Chains A and B, each alone.
Chain A
């Protein structure tokens, strides 16, 4: 099986550690990952903001870059959703088969215990696009429950949107901030040290709010928790 990693432009720029974690994790599970270096962006921001002519060449490029792979795995639920739900509309052809990380692990590789060790109190925000676009269900939670040492606590009102919504956070900053404040409250109520999710964009937004109020809660992508091992814990 030829597996390619789609890192996403956002993770490439701001969260390269997440990509490294995906590589480490998949290699630990016995798979080699290829990284097609010509990849850039799925076009989600342009598409969701109404700039379709700008999104189309990005979707076309995506199809070219990832043609020929059996599976593309991505540590972003919303970018995966963009490819799966909207690329065909832009390019006129079926896009490459892309999986969000938890889908890939559970459905394609058939594992829930990935041999991770993470001795911290963690709460998980199931992002809107994981839940309602990809319908990943409890796959991320099944993966997290199998992590050794983890103290996984349920996030109240977990399925409510955090208020990010891409350019929504800029266009409707007030409403976005009100939603963020409620989400941050829920996170704080769990007493977790770490907030995790399948999308760094939501985590940047919630984490930015948690940092602004000096909450001390860290944010960490699901991939980074699943990649952690006893060797990492000093």
Chain B
């Protein structure tokens, strides 16, 4: 029995992105699963966002609301704490993952429990809560269907919304049959790979846990500063079971999830389901305000998690990543994610948003290959319901990675040397033309019938799957000089 999903922000055993991606690219089953799944969600999203005449205004409103809230985050967080406390809840502040895990562990112990049921939550995966609870002898049961599949499979999530997107029905059937017994109620005899049968097996398995649990742990999609209301948006209703049945509810929420007022939900409850599952409305939206005597959990704790967020907020370009509402639209449209899947990113936050969020929350040195795991094609920016300019942040973080290498390496990296040489060659037309001459000479040795098959050195990676053109005898500069004599405005440097 493994401890299950999500073991922290950065997975230390995952190699740099290009290498991790190689494994995924070689797995044709995985690529097929991903292509089908992302393709389906993509089409659904386009259909339900296209049908709203004011979709672009909604996006603009979402972006503006989030950015404004982030600018005044300190005020809204204090207001939230006051509101939650007034409503009978208790607010805890956690500067990092360790603190948050300690707080939750102590709360579970204080409730006298040795197990918790969990609502799907990115924040608790980010801090590696399940692993921390396991160390303290507390079992954490994931109740979201896809999280359950990941947990039972001893696997890791590969998508924000559909953590088991890399699995198909047959694989899920196998996991249920093999693993369910070790965690509780075993899979029914003769379980097939029919979606209905799989869902029913999960229902029976989970029902036992819901009815027994005394403590639930959840994340939150939003919390309203003005009222102290916390909310979770989901599709299955398993979250609502967790949020209503146990006596104690502990919610771990990143500090950036606060919203000023109830009325702001008008925007986000439209943006989120349409962008994430491609539905007009999600089946379950649960909200609770502190404690309601005689109804639902009688003990409510809200753990507000920083874990790198205030540092991210200090970066005027990078902070927009904190506006993310975790809809996963950017993953579903990303051509890189579609080929590599989520595991290659080595983080609970995969895909385009992961490539900008993970290095910021953990520090660029902890995930230096992620900002480069993109062609900067811009599909993510177009899809994002809160208009996070992911390509802009990627380019910004690339500069930080390069700077940090410059600072920490005494000798320049080979790439830095090439870049420096290229910059020198491009500094004036005369130097450029000298470089072009040597490239042309070199290419003569490699070319056959005007095309170059194999290139040497680092360019091998290019020529493994592509031919290259042979540079023509005359550059454009030279042609212009020859055909427009006198019209060439010559400068100092030539």
Residues of A participating in the B interface, judged by any CB pair closer than 8 Å: 7, 9, 11-17, 19-20, 34-41, 43, 45-52, 54-55, 57-58, 61, 65, 86, 128-129, 131-133, 159-161, 163-181, 204-205, 207-209, 211-212
**Chain B positions 392 through 436: 1 when the CB is less than 8 Å from some CB of chain A, otherwise 0:** 000100111111000000000001100110110011110010001
Question: CA of A232 to CA of B400 in the docked complex: distance in angstroms?
Answer: 50
Chain A positions within 8 Å of B420 at CB level? 54
| Chain B 221-243 per-residue mask, 1 if CB under 8 angstroms from chain A, else 0 | 00000000000000000000000
B477 touches A12 (CB 8 A): yes
Count of chain B residues with a beta carbon within 8 Å of a chain A beta carbon: 70
Q: Would you give the shortest CB distance from B418 to chain A, in whole angstroms?
A: 10
Cβ of B419 and Cβ of A212 under 8 Å apart?
A: no
CB pair A161–B375 under 8 Å, yes or no, is: yes
Secondary structure at the A interface, as helix, strand, loop or mixed, is helix
| B72 beta carbon closer than 8 Å to chain A | no
Known A48-B398, A175-B25: A205·B335 in contact at CB below 8 Å: no
Cα-based distance from A164 to B335 in the complex (angstroms): 11
A37 CA to B458 CA, complexed, in Å: 31
Scan B317-348; emit 1 where CB is below 8 A from any A CB, else 0: 00000000000000000011001100000000
25 pairs from A and B in contact (CB 8 Å cutoff):
A13-B436, A13-B475, A19-B479, A37-B429, A37-B480, A37-B489, A37-B494, A38-B493, A50-B399, A50-B400, A52-B399, A52-B402, A54-B419, A132-B381, A164-B375, A165-B377, A166-B376, A172-B18, A173-B461, A174-B25, A177-B464, A179-B335, A204-B469, A208-B468, A209-B465
Contacts of A170 in B (CB 8 A): 458-459, 461-462
B377 / chain A contacts, CB cutoff of 8 Å: 128, 132, 161, 165
Task: Tell which of A11, A43, A65, A212 touches B465, judged by Cβ atoms closer than 8 Å.
Answer: A212
CB-defined contacts of B335 to chain A, threshold 8 Å: 160-161, 163, 179
**Interface 0/1 of B363-399, CB less than 8 Å to A:** 0000000011111111101100000000000010011
CB–CB B21/A174 < 8 A: yes
Q: Is the CB of A51 within 8 A of B423?
A: yes
A-B contact count (CB 8 A): 198
Distance between Cα atoms of A128 and B391 in the complex (Å): 12
In the complex where A58-B423, A204-B469 touch, is A174 in contact with B489 (Cβ < 8 A)? no
Which B residue sits closest to A64, measured CB to CB? B491
Q: Give which listed residue, B374, B382, B459, B490, contacts A165 with CB less than 8 A.
A: B374
Picked from B378, B379, B402, B475, the residue with its CB within 8 Å of the CB of A49 is: B402
Known: A12-B476, A13-B475, A46-B422. A208 touches B467 (CB 8 A): yes
The CA-CA distance from A161 to B381 in the complex, in Å, is 14
Given A48-B398, A128-B378, A132-B381; A16-B474 close (CB under 8 Å) = yes
Q: How far is the CA of A48 from the CA of B372 in the complex (A)?
A: 9
How close is A100's CB to chain B, nearest CB, in angstroms? 15
Complex Cα–Cα for A211 and B395 (A):
31
Closest chain B residue, CB of each to CB of A65? B491
Counting CB contacts under 8 A, is B471 at the interface? yes
Q: Inside 8 A of A61's CB, which chain B residues have their CB?
A: 427
CB distance from A170 to the nearest CB of B (A): 5
In the complex, whether B17 has a CB less than 8 A from a CB of chain A is yes
Known: A35-B480, A37-B491. A175 touches B340 (CB 8 A): yes
CB-CB under 8 A from A13, the residues of chain B are 436, 439, 471, 475
New A-B contacts (6) at CB < 8 Å, excluding given A50-B398, A132-B379? A16-B479, A37-B490, A38-B493, A51-B402, A128-B375, A178-B31
Q: Are A204 and B468 in contact (CB under 8 A)?
A: yes
Chain A contacts for B382, CB-based, 8 A:
132
Report which of B21, B31, B489 forms a contact with A38, defined as CB distance below 8 A.
B489
Contacts A38-B489, A49-B419; A14 near B17 (Cβ below 8 A): no
Contacts of B374 in A (CB 8 A): 165, 168
B451 on interface, CB distance cutoff 8 Å: yes
- Within the complex, what minimum Cβ distance (angstroms) separates A217 from chain B? 13
Query: Is B22 an interface position by the 8 A CB rule?
Result: yes
Residue of A11, A48, A168, A204 near B476 (CB, 8 A) is A11
| Interface mask (B431-471 → A, CB under 8 Å = 1, otherwise 0) | 01000100100000000000101000011011011111101
Given A49-B398, A51-B423: A38 in contact with B340 (beta carbons within 8 A): no
Which has the most chain A C-beta neighbours within 10 Å: B471, B489, B493? B489
